[in-house]
Amino acid sequence: MKTQHIHLIHQEAIVGFALLLLAAVGGGAWWVWQTTTPKSLKQTPIPSRVEKPPVATVPPTVIPYQTQQPAIVTVPPTAIPYQTRKPSVMTVPPTVIPHQTQKPPVATVPPTVIPTPLTTSTPKINQQVTQLQAQTYWLQATDEQIRLVPQEVALKPEDSSEVALKTAFDNLFTSSKTSNLTTTIPAGTRLLDLQVTKTGIYVNLSKEFTQGGGSTSMIGRVAQVLYTATSIEPEAKVYLLVEGRLLDEENPLGGEGIILTEPLTRQQFAQDFAIQA
């Protein structure tokens, strides 16, 4: 028993000495570390272990379980009274416009009287008025020379120039010759058409106009047609056609081959052929 007690004392002494030595060594090491370590490192404590920050625990909210549906507020419908009758319409009496039995008076303006100017009587001067009339031209032979002699044609006052000339040609082709007047136009010649235009007078004859006779006869019949066509307007130009074909250099007249220069005029014809009117 005494031996065990002594042995325990020795063990405690050893443990105390070891602890003292450990504390001395640890204190010296700590002092050395404090003197050699920079202040910035000293101020940052290094935790021995990482611990999670405490988490605030919130107790769960308990929602009571609804065993029944919430009550629904019902609104009673608004009752609209039914109209058994149509709403009353306000009637406006029509406006009565008085009937006018008489027309309103119209202001009459008296007409303006324009005084008649005084006319002075002037003595009339006798002037010779030459009135052109449609004429037919016939041939007259005197001393081996042929002349054209005009004959007046009875016309109506309302006849136009075309109507007057057509009437003159009808008389020329159908009238018989007299003892001193003759014609070289072949029998049966007819006027197919006649037109008075701004460019001239177009005379279209039937094919009988080209038949028979010599050069003198041909010249005489062309002169009769030319002067009869220009009896109303002597300066007019005449285009002579046979069956619609113009008599010109390419289409001479008759077998003798008399060449006509279109359009025909009295002045040019008198220069080309020896004939007088």
Reported as a single tens digit per residue, the pLDDT across 92-106 is: 565 555 555 555 555
Report CA dihedral (179, 184, 186, 187) to the nearest 10 degrees. Answer: -10
- Stated pTM of the model: 0.53
Mean per-residue pLDDT for 110-133?
A: 50
Amino acid, res. 263: P
Neighbouring C-beta atoms of residue 151, cutoff 10 Å: 16
Reported as a single tens digit per residue, the pLDDT across 205-235 is: 999 999 988 888 999 999 999 999 999 999 9
Strand partners, 202: 195, 239
Q: Is the separation of the CB atoms in 139 and 147 below 8 Å?
A: yes
Query: Domain residues of the chain, as ranges?
Result: 135-272
235's CB contacts (< 8 A; 6+ apart) are: 265, 266
pLDDT for 80 beyond 80: no
Of these ranges, 74-83, 171-180, 213-222, 250-259, the one predicted with the greatest mean pLDDT is: 213-222
Reported as a single tens digit per residue, the pLDDT across 131-188 is: 458 999 999 987 778 899 999 998 888 889 999 999 999 999 998 877 789 999 999 9
- The Cα–Cα gap between 186 and 277 comes to 21
